[in-house]
Amino acid sequence: MRAAAANHILDFADALPGPYGFERSCKFTPAGVNRQRFLVTFPKLALELGADLNGLLERLAFPASHCPPDLLNQGDILHLGVDGNELSSDICKLYVEDAARVRQLWQAGDMPVTEAVPLHRAIKWIPGRGTAVETEYHWLPCYSVDDVLTQVQRYTPEFTEGFAALLALAVRHCAVADLQLLRVSERQGQRLSLDLNLYDAQLTMAQIWPRLQAFEAQVASLAQDSDWTGEEIVGHLACGKERSGDLFVTLYYGACERGGFQ
């Protein structure tokens, strides 16, 4: 099932009636480094044009009884992913993103100051287990470095030094307001993390890697992986507590467009 889950998702993506996004990621935890991860992104409109999401979910043994019945009605962008694991079973993921709401807020100039804006909901499951976990992603609008660090102190204080080092580099290339910060939480377990969208900064892996040394005190596996000298653009940096309570850091990078109109 480990290879099959990834292959099923990639086959589905390649058959979409239009292009899709593909993004890799690497997760650092006390257990080590996991590079067997990716996300594909496509508009929900593809389902109206014939994309067989139900067929894919059946092949991935999706536990439909554990999915909120209104999940697919709450957004306009879908993400599918796999978190591979050599030591245990893979985790499959289905995200629904309400990107339209964010666009409306930007265009109306009515950006919230203190309100957390719901942006993503995700269902994550291990094929064959019959259970799933729901994860919620809230956008925390920030307009200064101090705003970001205030949220870091509130939700992931262990990573304040790392965020400060990263922001010092990122703000040389774009405004803080363009670095979208998300709070990630679950109703079960200890999962609580932050995700910083760095795409507008257009930083490469080679540029960002020296700054990540500030995260090593929390996640020592960062020091074990030095193969980051490439020119791939960094997408997101996520860090915080996993469901188990262990600390983690994840880098998303190398986003590209695949497929095409059929």
As given in the structure block, the two tokens for residue 14 are 């390649």
Number of alpha carbons in the 13 Å side-chain half-sphere of residue 232: 20
Q: Which tens digit of pLDDT belongs to each residue from 80-89?
A: 999 987 656 7
d(CA 40, CA 22): 5
How far, in Å, are 202, 232, 236 from residue 25 at the CA level?
Answer: 16, 11, 9
As given in the structure block, the two tokens for residue 80 are 């599918």
pLDDT of residue 87: 53
Whether the Cβ atoms of residue 176 and residue 201 lie closer than 8 Å to each other: no
Q: Cα dihedral sign for 153, 158, 163, 168?
A: positive
Strands 91-97 and 181-186, by their bridges, are unpaired
Q: Cα torsion for 36, 240, 134, 76, to the nearest 10°?
A: -80
Stretches in the chain below the pLDDT threshold 70: 1-2, 86-88, 109-110, 112-114, 223-229, 262
d(CA 26, CA 239): 12
Pick from 242, 235, 239: nearest CA to 250:
239
Strands (E), 126-162: 133-139
Whether the Cβ atoms of residue 105 and residue 111 lie closer than 8 Å to each other: yes
Q: Which tens digit of pLDDT belongs to each residue from 143-198?
A: 999 999 999 999 999 999 999 999 999 999 999 999 999 999 998 889 999 999 99
Whether the Cβ atoms of residue 91 and residue 126 lie closer than 8 Å to each other: yes
